[in-house]
Amino acid sequence: MGHTKPTGKRLSLDTQILIDCVLSLPSLEALITTFDFKAHKMLIPIYVLNETKRVLITTYNFDNQRAKAGIDNVVKILKAEVIRSDENDKKGAKYLLELHSDIEDFHEEDALIIACLKRSRVNICYCRDKAAGGVMKKEGIDVRRFPTIDRILDKKLQQLFRR
């Protein structure tokens, strides 16, 4: 049986959603159920992986090896392609920062990620960051909301008690 190449949209996700998927199996399961692996392709910028690793280490007390293993596991399960950095990403980020300087809390890491998404022709990004999501929308990327760990667990509990 051969591998079917995705023909549909190019999707991605922001740092917070990747963090949630590393920390919580229900979050990863929820993402998997919203994502059609046969029709669409998941692309994750290296900048999202790097920022996720930094947050897991500094905020959640992961060591380097555990953070890397958790991220690699999620990337593998999602069959995601990692978008490598490109010399033009910094130029694109600088342009985005200047163009969208009116958006509060829009910072360089977000700009690098969005420049990378645009370069890779990503159509849809699952995102919770208000500033980054606002810029993505203005730049033609369809922003989809994704529930927090708490909302996912609340929904699972409600379903459990309905039985």
pLDDT, averaged across the chain: 91
What mean pLDDT do residues 67-93 have? 96
Query: Quick check: is 3 in a domain?
Result: no
4 located within any domain:
no
Please give the residue range of the domain that contains residue 19: 10-156
H helices, E strands: number in the chain: 8, 5
The verdict on residue 58 lying in a domain is yes
pTM of the model: 0.86
In the chain, how many domains are there? 1
pLDDT for res 59: 97
CB-based burial, 75-101: b 16+ in 10 Å, e otherwise: beebebeebeeeeebeebbeebbeebe
Q: 3-state SS of 66-97? A: HHHHHHHHHHHHCCCEEECCCHHHHHHHHHHH
pLDDT in tens, 43-74: 999 999 999 999 999 999 999 999 999 999 99
Confidence check: pLDDT of 4 > 60: no
**Mean pLDDT score, 89-109:** 95
- Answer yes or no: is 68 within a domain: yes
| Domain assignment of residue 162, yes or no | no
Q: Report the C-alpha gap between 34 and 158 in whole angstroms.
A: 19
Mean pLDDT of 103-127: 96
At residue 19 the predicted structure's pLDDT band, cuts being 50, 70 and 90, is very high
In this model, does residue 1 exceed pLDDT 80? no
Res 3 pLDDT > 70: no
- Identify whether 105 is part of a domain: yes
Residue 2 lies in a domain: no
Kindly state whether residue 163 falls inside one of the protein's structural domains.
Answer: no
Q: State residue 151's pLDDT score.
A: 80
> What CATH number does residue 34 fall under?
3.40.50.1010
Residue 59 Cα distances to 26, 51, 52, 62, 64, angstroms: 20, 12, 10, 8, 12
